[in-house]
Chains A and B, each alone.
Chain A
Amino acid sequence: MREPSYIIALAGNPNVGKSTVFNALTHLHQHTGNWPGKTVAVARGAFSYRGEDYAVVDLPGTYSLFAESAEEEIARDFLCSGQADVTLVVADATCLERNLNLLLQILEKTHPVVLCVNLLDEAAHKGIALDLTALENALGIPVVGAAARDGEGLDALREALRQAVHAPLPPPPRALLPEDPEAAAALRMERAAELAALAARVPEDAHRWDRRLDRLLTSRRTGLLAMLALLGLVFWLTIAGANVPSQFLSEVLGGLQEPLRALLLRWGLPAEVCAALCDGVYQTVAWVVSVMLPPMAIFFPLFTLLEDAGYLPRVAFNLDRCFQWAGAHGRQSLTMCMGFGCNACGVMGCRIIDSPRERLIAILTNAFVPCNGRLPTLIAVLTIFFAFSSGSSLLTAALLLGAIVAAVGMTLLVSRLLSRTVLKGTPSSFALELPPYRRPRVGQVLVRSVLDRTLFVLARAVMVAAPAGLVIWLTANMTVGGASLLTHLADFLDPLGTLMGLDGMILLAFVLGFPANEIVIPILLMGYLSTGSLTDYQDLGQLRHLLLANGWTWQTALSAVIFTLFHFPCGTTCATIRKETGSFKWTLLAVALPTAVGVAACILLHLLLTPLR
């Protein structure tokens, strides 16, 4: 790319649609999260306007420039470094007073500054009348109103930025502030209140819908119930909706396997190579696509909808008492929610926790919640063994919900254990903003979550699945001393597997699935297929036959569910933990903790259930 002519620094409070403005300006679809401090690393984008190139640096969302958190330091350092030609401050039109406080701090540090009052649509909905001209006059800087999600006001914004770098207004007179930083802070607040009163007329009942929703979603009587119901609904829609497309995909992709083999043979490839490519690489990839894609393509958008609507901070609010009990940071429930999508993202997200002790707890326990790569495995096993005869996706959803509650419970238990032993300390205080609810843009959510998240995660899984499929096919087909390498390995693990109520092959599938959790079932399938008599699978019914033929009972299934929930994090997550903690020792503990819990729980269950046989 060409060297940009100008650099724009993008600053603002969390939850003001700053990333939406960034995306709209740059068309770079950076993912926005509706919780405080989502942008933990600095994102960069670029756009051209009237023949000139602008680079946009998306600074972390902060409430202030002066407090001592990593995010604020990044924002402050960048603004003070003078690297930016202009600073664009994004403010929430529905909460101007608090937002203007940061603007005033930035005005003390840098020039020129353009203010973008975003979320005009939300303000109009709440009956808030805005006078941006008055605000512009009082501040002495350009003020542009916008509804960035609808693309409203963006042209005006680009033009204001262009004028600000070419012909900046004279710097507004600096406010005389007392030396004492706290007196200065109080004075700034007062000025922000005056400005907000000047620019916005907020009706008494403007936020009544937010309060009503909060009463439903966070109160003593209905808060937890609503949370479980919402999560259960998401699971049910995922399971019920994924059935048909999953079957369709596996039929189509499975049907292509033989024509592919014929084609490869016609090209003159040796039969062994064709088998390795078709039965190894292709079959594994086909399984990953047909089993992973549909639930992901439903779960991710639904989860993003909740996130977009501003629900996740409410989850943190509801569960905070539990995290206090665990001696953990209140924001850990947010990183836990990120872990649902992907544990590696969850671990990275732990940067939003300032206290090193609590951050470590959150990192070490993140893999205790099942990521999106493990959900389909859980769904498949639960459906096959506990809801097959009834065929009820509602029952599977309820069982899955139970598994998730168990995973969250274990997260809390292990967090408490850590905070009482190796990571002793008092929980640090935290303030959690409950931002206004927003009407999510369904269309945008769909596009963004399918394109950005689903396809990204799927591509990663496929990239891992292809070589893994080859390796597993080779181990299954290379014979040493009369049995395949895979059988030898499985036999080696069999004593431990049996003790855990599983078998050697299942354990081996988890071990070989280390690169990505998505490939555990395909490995297992190939392992069983290479040693058993069945040679084909099409749907869950056939998977059920295959598992039953290999000695699975409901107890095996229960152990498999437990071990799916609690085992070593995947390769990507381990690498991320190593990077985030900078310590091999902590990474080892992050691997050992869930594995120990899973192994112990499975053995315990097996011993308890043995008399039943």
Chain B
Amino acid sequence: MTYATLDCLAPGQGATVQDLTFPAPKRRRLLDLGFVPGAAVTALQAAPWGDPMAYGVRGAVIALRRADARNISIVGK
């Protein structure tokens, strides 16, 4: 098992959300979008300038900026 943050995932790679290290309101928002501990995420595709990245989570596609993805720790499969 490897530990990292979400922004380390390259397109096509998947992992499991471990924790979110945002301050409360942002944390809440991302939880509601499906980034809960234990959820499976897959990096799908980077935008033309490499940032943001689109992630597949809970059957939806959510784009996050790299700076934000850095605050989500993941466990590799």
| Contact call A218/B54, Cβ cutoff below 8 A | yes
| A430 at the binding interface (Cβ < 8 Å) | yes
**A193 B58 Cβ-Cβ under 8 A:** yes
State A94–B58 Cα separation when bound (angstroms).
Answer: 11
B63 & A429 in contact (Cβ 8 Å cutoff):
no
What is the CB-to-nearest-CB distance from A315 to chain B, in angstroms, rounded to a whole number?
A: 11
Residues of A within 8 A of B36 (CB): 185-186, 189
A97: chain B residues at CB < 8 Å are 34, 58-59
A64 and B32: CB pair below 8 A? yes
A428 to B26, CA, bound (A): 9
Is B75 an interface residue, CB under 8 A from the partner? no
Any A CB within 8 A of the CB of B4: no
> Given that A214-B45, A317-B47, A434-B62 are contacting pairs, would A63 and B25 also be in contact in the complex, using a CB cutoff of 8 Å?
no
Asked if A211 is an interface residue, CB under 8 A from chain B, the answer is yes
- A456 and B36 alpha carbons, distance in the complex (Å): 45
Range of interface residues on B (Cβ < 8 Å): 35 or more
Q: Write out the residue numbers on chain A whose beta carbons fall within 8 Å of the beta carbon of B10.
A: none
CB neighbours of A210 from chain B (8 A): 61
Q: How many residues of A contact B (CB 8 A)?
A: 45
Quick check: A429 and B67 within 8 Å, CB to CB? yes
User: Does B8 sit within 8 A of A, measured CB to CB?
Assistant: no
Task: Write out, one digit per residue, whether chain A residues 304-334 have a CB within 8 A of any chain B CB (1) or not (0).
Answer: 0000000000000110111010000010000
In the complex, what distance in Å separates the CA atom of A432 from the CA atom of B44?
14
Give CA–CA (A140, B58) in the complex, Å.
23
**Across the two chains, which residue of chain A brings its CB closest to B37?**
A186
A433 CA to B29 CA in the complex, in Å?
Answer: 12
Instruction: Return the contact of A219 from the options B31, B45, B68 (Cβ within 8 A).
Output: B45
Instruction: Name B48's closest neighbour in chain A (CB-CB).
Output: A223
Q: Which of A192, A428, A434 contacts B61 (CB 8 A)?
A: A434
Does chain B have a CB within 8 A of A202? Answer: yes
Q: Beyond A66-B32, A317-B63, is A429–B48 a contact (Cβ under 8 Å)?
A: no
Docked-complex contact A63 and B33, CB < 8 angstroms? yes
A320–B49 CA distance with the chains assembled, in angstroms: 9
For B58, list chain A residues within 8 Å (CB): 95, 97-98, 189, 192-193
Chain A residues with Cβ below 8 Å from B60 are 95, 98, 433, 435
Do A430 and B48 contact each other (CB < 8 Å), given the known contacts A67-B28, A182-B31, A317-B54? no
A185-B31, A432-B62 known; A321 vs B26 contact (CB < 8 Å): no
**Chain B residue contacts of A434, Cβ below 8 A:** 54, 61-63
> Could you tell me which residues of chain A, from 141 to 195, have a CB within 8 Å of some CB in chain B?
181-182, 185-186, 189, 192-193
- Given known contacts A67-B32, A220-B50, what 13 new A-B pairs fall within 8 Å (CB)? A96-B59, A186-B36, A196-B59, A202-B59, A214-B44, A214-B45, A317-B47, A317-B52, A318-B48, A320-B63, A429-B64, A431-B29, A433-B63
* Shortest 8 CB-CB contacts between residues of A and residues of B: A64-B32, A321-B49, A223-B48, A429-B68, A434-B61, A432-B63, A98-B60, A186-B36
Listed A/B pairs (19) with beta-carbon separation below 8 Å: A63-B32, A67-B25, A97-B34, A182-B31, A189-B58, A211-B44, A214-B54, A218-B47, A218-B54, A219-B48, A220-B47, A220-B50, A223-B48, A321-B49, A321-B50, A324-B51, A430-B68, A433-B60, A433-B63
